[in-house]
Amino acid sequence: MANLKVDLLNELRNQKYYEELELLRLAQDPGMKYRTKVLDLTDVLSNIALLNNQIALAEGYFQDPQEQVQANQPLPNVPQPPEVKEEVKQEEVKQEVVTQPLPGQSHGE
């Protein structure tokens, strides 16, 4: 499976490289009509974006066995956020609502 991943990523990266070369060639071509150049550049850029997404998906789907084990393990010594009591949180919300004037009021009541 490792060879499949390497070959797939190699093929996608080669295609991306040639699309980037085409992008530079089109951008520097002085004899092309402006409108045609813009449309062709748009096509090449969309191909590059598609290839970038394909590369990212291939790397995600074809993970090495060591990477899969590490991804499934919980992170060591990660501090947990402090728990907030629901009662205190509700009281703070009620106070905020009371102190803020409603739309159209000049002051809170």
- Amino acid 61 reads Y
Side-chain half-sphere CA neighbours of 105 within 13 A:
9
33-83 per-position pLDDT tens digit: 999 999 999 999 999 999 999 999 999 988 776 655 565 666 556 556 656
Where are the domains positioned within the chain?
2-72
pTM for this entry:
0.57
